[in-house]
Chains A and B, each alone.
Chain A
Amino acid sequence: MPDALHTLTIAELRTLLQKREISPADIIHDLEASITARDPEIGAYLHRDTAAALAAAEKADLSAPLGGIPVAIKDVLNVQGQPATAGSKMLRGYISPYDATCIAKLKSAGAIPFGKLNMDEFAMGSSNENSAWQLTRNPWDTTRVPGGSSGASAAAVAARTAIASLGSDTGGSIRQPAAFCGITGLKPTYGRVSRYGLIAYASSLDQVGPMTRTVEDAALVLQAIAGHDPQDSTSLNAPVPDYSAALRRGVSGMKIGLPREYFIDGIDPAVRAAVEAGVKELERQGATVREISLPHTRFAIAAYYIIATAEASANLARFDGVRYGHRCDTPADLRDMYDRSRAEGFGPEVKRRIILGTYVLSSGYYDAYYRKAQKVRTLIARDFAEAFKEVDLIASPVTPTAAFKIGKNAGDPLQMYLADIFTIANNLSGVCGISVPCGYSAEGLPIGLQLTGRPLGEEDLLRGAFAYEQATDWHRRLPQKS
């Protein structure tokens, strides 16, 4: 049996499985050893049921596309019979009575959900510092954050304690941690992947997507989870193309736009240089590059933090202590039960966003804040629609800097929000995006290149990202000790 199965990609493991050189159980055992060795320092895993994974491994259908491949799951997704806390004390002890659609689809593609991964509470955060349970550290430098909110989903894949993972992205929560941890993260078009069974943060923005070591693996996982779902009325009823077939089409003739509003002062020079070099590589391979404008970019963060918090305040109203979740001791009456259960169960960032969302929806402020933000959302979506008349892909940084130090932004919520500038407009307009490793800072921290595609343009994303990846070896580098 080859050594170190935990260091291989899905595609490599599938080849070994199909040749019967290894079994699915070998992968689980190998991962278990890697997690035991490395996770105490990283803190990615909240839960794992190794016995259940081994039982699934016994029955794995190796002829299925992901047959025998373990996939780690952000704790915001329901996996039947497993805990799902969304990083919150509110859901301590909650056991999912059903599978999210993306989990059911992974299983029917032969994959084995293995392990639940830490996250910012209810997916609200950019650093994993908002988890109620534990800190997750960046495998490249354990004094730094892994990003968020799918921080542990990125950290585990980077540290080789997961082969691949699922994350969710509401304002950058797949792409930003993928960039900070040096892996590939794909945020599909809004509606491409069902949200049924995803614990909701902001329903008009949330999407589930793959976090992987390579672009090829991202295509394989996306293939398994994409598609229409009658259980999610916002899921798109559009055919799912063969994503793997798109990988090798090359970028010759593709038109790539560089938004002038994204290449601004305040970007770390190393990030700018790495992204510009990445674009040059695509140009060298035959893509044409031109400057474009997304003129309403400067309003994106403000619009996002009104719309997302408004939706969150409505979505999180379901946590009332009645049917599931935390209930306070000895409530005096129903109202006392609501007020205290929520006060005890939610952490500080979640309370902050619920209050902000409640405020912008409240009588007298609705038009000034919420309605105004929805109109600005239209303008931002039009910016992208106009741009995609001219270009096939938009290239940009994912983040203004590489991973920051743990604690750096913890006391300043607004400063933390402002770091989401390059990822947030994507969610408001419902387009798709991918982050791929494109270099390292002087401190050895990964940097991500973001490609943004038109709605249902995942094939373009994969084409561009794969062409870039094949010409570089950033994605092969390992954090120390992995």
Chain B
Amino acid sequence: MSATAHIDIKKTADLARLRLTAEEETAYTAQLERILEYVGQLDEADTASVEAAAHPHELFDVMRSDAARPGFVMEAALSNAPRRSGDQFMVPKVVE
């Protein structure tokens, strides 16, 4: 991290699956570089012997029995589909 943080906005938007306009690219680049400059102050925290915390509490694997349980009926699962065909979600063609 450094005070002159630079963000490759086109690459990052591509990774995020977001198509940005030229105006958005300019605006976000300036805003995000300012935010990155601010978060750069984390460099001042001494974390040499500190474990990373992904979560507030100690976490253990939570298991449940491998048994059938009631779930969504198909009609409920499909009820908000942008496009459907019968019992399936429709998407643009994936294979040639």
Q: How far is the CA of A204 from the CA of B59 in the complex (A)?
A: 11
Bound Cα distance A21, B16 (Å): 57
Complex-state Cα separation, A446 to B66, whole angstroms: 52
Measured in the bound complex, the distance between the Cα atoms of B39 and A305 in whole Å is: 8
Task: Give Cα distance in the complex from A299 to B45, angstroms.
Answer: 8
Please tell me if the beta carbons of B9 and A355 are within 8 angstroms of each other in the complex. Answer: yes
**Is A327 part of the contact surface with B, judged by Cβ < 8 Å?**
yes
Residue of B nearest to A330 (CB): B92
**Most B C-beta atoms less than 10 A away, residue of A301, A320, A335, A377:** A377
Enumerate 28 A-B pairs (CB-CB under 8 Å) in ascending A order.
Answer: A97-B72, A190-B57, A233-B62, A298-B41, A302-B39, A324-B81, A325-B80, A335-B17, A337-B91, A343-B20, A346-B18, A348-B24, A351-B18, A351-B20, A354-B18, A355-B9, A355-B12, A355-B32, A358-B16, A359-B36, A362-B11, A372-B1, A372-B42, A376-B42, A376-B45, A378-B52, A413-B35, A428-B56
Q: Does any Cβ of A come within 8 Å of B77's Cβ? A: yes
Given contacts A305-B39, A355-B28, A378-B50, contact A414 B34 (CB under 8 A): yes
User: A191 to B42, Cβ gap below 8 A?
Assistant: no
A323 contacts the other chain (CB 8 A): yes
Per a CB cutoff under 8 Å, which of B11, B19, B38, B76 touches A340?
Answer: B19
| Cβ-based interface call for A294 (8 A) | no
Question: B residues near A, CB below 8 A?
Answer: 1, 7, 9, 11-13, 15-20, 24, 28, 31-32, 34-36, 38-45, 47, 50-57, 59, 62, 64, 72, 76-77, 79-83, 89, 91-94
Output the nearest chain A residue to B77 by Cβ-Cβ distance: A97
**Is there an interface contact between A302 and B41, defined as CB atoms closer than 8 Å?**
yes
In the bound complex, residues from chain B placing their C-beta under 8 Å from that of A190 are 56-57
Number of residues of chain A lying within 8 A (CB) of chain B: 71
Set of chain B residues within 8 Å of A337, measured between Cβ atoms? 91-92
Pick the residue among A313, A352, A414 that contacts B38 (CB under 8 A). Answer: A414
Max count, chain A CB within 10 A of own CB: residue among B7, B16, B77, B91: B16
On whether A321 and B82 interact (CB within 8 A), knowing A362-B15, A376-B42, the answer reads: yes
Q: Answer yes or no: A455 CB below 8 A from chain B CBs.
A: yes
Shortest C-beta distance, A358 to chain B (Å), equals: 4
A386 on the interface (CB 8 Å rule)?
no
* Contact pick for B39, options A296, A306, A322, CB 8 Å: A306
Q: Hey, what's the 0/1 contact readout for A369-386 against B, CB within 8 Å counting as 1? A: 101111111110100000
Query: Is the beta-carbon distance between A381 and B56 smaller than 8 angstroms?
Result: yes
Q: Which residues of B contact A11 (CB under 8 A)?
A: none
Min CB distance, A349 to chain B, in Å? 10
Chain A residues with CB below 8 A from B15, complex form = 358, 362
Given contacts A233-B62, A305-B39, A333-B93, contact A375 B52 (CB under 8 A): yes
5 more CB-based (< 8 A) A-B contacts, given A233-B62, A327-B82: A306-B42, A355-B12, A375-B50, A375-B51, A455-B57
Are A414 and B35 interface neighbours, CB within 8 A?
yes
Counted as pairs of residues, one from A and one from B, with CB atoms less than 8 Å apart, the total is 166
Q: Is the CB–CB distance between A323 and B80 below 8 Å?
A: yes
Specify the chain A residue showing the minimal Cβ separation from B75. Answer: A97
User: Which residues from chain A sit less than 8 Å from chain B, CB to CB?
Assistant: 93-95, 97-98, 190-191, 204, 230, 233-234, 236, 296, 298-299, 301-303, 305-306, 313, 317, 320-327, 331-340, 342-343, 346, 348, 351-352, 354-356, 358-359, 362, 368-369, 371-379, 381, 413-414, 417, 428-430, 455
* Complex contact A355–B13 (CB within 8 A): yes
A430 to B42, CA, bound (A): 20
Residues of chain B contacted by A236 (CB below 8 angstroms): 57
What is the bound-complex CA distance between A303 and B50, given in angstroms? 15
Taking a contact as CB atoms closer than 8 A, the residue among B47, B57, B80 that contacts A376 in the complex is B47
The answer on a CB contact under 8 Å between B45 and A352 is no
> CA A326 – CA B80 in complex, angstroms?
10
Could you tell me the distance between the alpha carbons of A335 and B94 in the complex, rounded to whole angstroms? 10
Q: Is the CB of A98 within 8 A of B93?
A: no
> Least Cβ distance of B58 to chain A in Å?
10
Q: Whole-angstrom distance between the alpha carbons of A137 and B21 in the complex?
A: 31
A335, A356, A369 pick with most chain B CB within 10 angstroms: A356
Tell me whether B79 and A97 are in contact (CB under 8 A): yes
Q: A324-B81, A362-B12 are in contact. Are A339 and B19 (CB under 8 A)?
A: yes
Distance to closest chain B CB from A380 (angstroms):
9
Chain A: CB-nearest residue to B72: A97
| B50 surroundings in chain A (CB, below 8 A) | 375, 378-379
Whether B42 lies near A299 (C-beta < 8 A) is yes
Nearest CB of chain A from residue B6's CB, rounded to whole Å: 10
